[in-house]
């Protein structure tokens, strides 16, 4: 009886405490349930599935973002990026953020209000960079082609900007743009060459130093297979001279390379000063993904993506599907685009594939919406067995989704 009275008294005191509390909004019911995440095969343009080794690295105990051990890990990341980019640039770091963070960092630090920039637009990423540059006051000139088409070096040389942007891996269209010779043109006209390799790094050859690329950036979540949230970027001496001799401060404090270069130990100063709290677990995962790439070797990674992509192409053609980029050498090995099958609703097909096969494939993005469906097999997912899964799911969707008679 005493125990029952004591328990009852405790409940009454608890109710009294709640009634006297200043909290008027109760805990949301969803937060009182455990987290549930479905298993999905991520065969879209990214993010890709993360291998167990990288997941394990990201789950290691947190350490302070300014601890000496963290600096060692950041130094390792820098060396891993230099290998992946094929560069000896000292000014090589990983942004705390997705590929968009690196995109903004590149533009904000090397372009000042009123300066002219030339943006090659043949998909969504050129559109994004153009908007970013306009927002910070640059004079933006656009070269535009339909998704899947590329620019010749002669077309590029007709302009005289301070910076030229080009997407090496235009994932919205499945195009891998030729880069050779463009860096030489930019140097001839004292123009910085900015290249996006978010969708192509590790999947298609890129040589930052040999190809005279002044600024190169990528993302963690595609062929590198790390979780989204970190973005490698590198600046050569030409780019550093431009960004560290500005008349005005960059519009972003977070992306100011004056501070980030110190945080990453790239400015030659003996001490690193607090700037922001980097994504510690994200850096663990990025380091591990770069280690896997180094162990495997770039050439082997490039060849594997090329081989699996060719296998996928044959399977798609056997299904009667048309590859969107006709020139085989211009296809992005990591993200394959197919023309939407005539008479089919692409949204219905993708929904069917997700529902019945737990596979993510996607439609177009930006200017390629309504033109393509996209299949991504990159890094950890770059296997013929996964290509077979994707082909089986597509065949099933073609058989069971409604086709218009028109």
Please report, in range form, the residues annotated as the binding site for substrate.
374
Opening angle at CA 123, ends 375 and 302, nearest 5: 50
Largest CA distance in the chain: 94
Nearest to 194 by CA among 150, 152, 238: 238
Q: 123 is written with which tokens?
A: 């998909």
Contacts of 64 (CB under 8 A, 6+ apart): 70, 280
Q: Which residues are annotated as a binding site?
A: 374
Q: Where are the alpha helices (DSSP H) in 142-279?
A: 153-157, 182-188, 237-243, 257-263
C-alpha angle 40-41-42 in degrees, rounded to nearest 5:
105
CA distance 140 to 110: 14
Name the CA radius of gyration of the chain, rounded.
25
CA dihedral 253, 62, 102, 299 (to 10 degrees): 160
């Amino acid at each position: 009886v005493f125990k029952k009275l004591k328990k009852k008294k405790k409940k009454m005191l608890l109710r009294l405490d709640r009634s006297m509390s200043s909290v008027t909004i109760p805990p949301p019911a969803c937060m009182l349930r455990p987290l549930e995440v479905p298993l999905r095969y991520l065969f879209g343009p990214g993010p890709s599935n993360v291998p167990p080794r990288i997941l394990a690295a990201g789950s290691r105990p947190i350490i302070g973002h300014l601890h000496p051990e963290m600096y060692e890990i950041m130094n390792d990341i820098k060396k891993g990026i230099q290998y992946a980019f094929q560069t000896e640039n000292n000014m090589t770091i990983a942004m705390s953020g997705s590929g968009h963070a690196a995109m903004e960092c590149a533009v904000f630090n090397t372009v000042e209000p009123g300066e002219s920039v030339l943006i090659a637009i043949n998909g969504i990423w050129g559109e994004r960079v153009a908007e970013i540059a306009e927002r910070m006051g640059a004079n933006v000139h656009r070269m535009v082609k339909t998704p899947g088409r590329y620019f010749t070096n002669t077309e590029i040389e007709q302009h005289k900007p301070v910076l030229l942007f080009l997407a090496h891996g235009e994932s919205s269209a499945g195009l891998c743009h030729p880069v050779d010779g463009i860096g030489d043109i930019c140097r001839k006209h004292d123009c910085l060459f900015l290249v996006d390799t978010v969708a192509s790094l590790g999947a298609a050859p890129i040589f930052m130093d040999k190809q005279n690329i002044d600024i190169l950036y990528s993302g963690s979540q595609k062929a590198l297979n790390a979780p989204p949230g970190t973005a490698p970027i590198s600046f050569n001496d030409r780019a550093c001279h431009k960004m560290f001799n500005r008349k005005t401060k960059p519009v972003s404090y977070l992306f100011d390379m004056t501070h980030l270069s110190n945080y990453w130990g790239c400015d030659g100063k003996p001490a690193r000063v607090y700037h922001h709290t980097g994504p510690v677990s994200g850096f663990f995962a990025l380091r591990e993904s770069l280690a896997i790439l180094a162990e495997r070797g770039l050439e082997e990674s490039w060849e594997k993506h090329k081989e699996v992509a060719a296998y996928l192409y044959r399977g798609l053609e056997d299904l009667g599907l048309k590859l969107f980029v006709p020139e085989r050498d211009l296809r992005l090995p990591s993200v394959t685009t197919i023309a939407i099958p005539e008479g089919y609703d692409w949204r219905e097909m993708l929904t069917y594939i997700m529902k019945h096969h737990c596979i993510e494939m996607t439609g177009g993005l930006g200017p390629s919406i309504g033109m393509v469906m996209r299949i991504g097999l990159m890094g950890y997912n770059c296997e013929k067995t996964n290509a077979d899964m994707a082909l089986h799911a597509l065949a099933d969707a073609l058989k069971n989704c409604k086709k218009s008679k028109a």
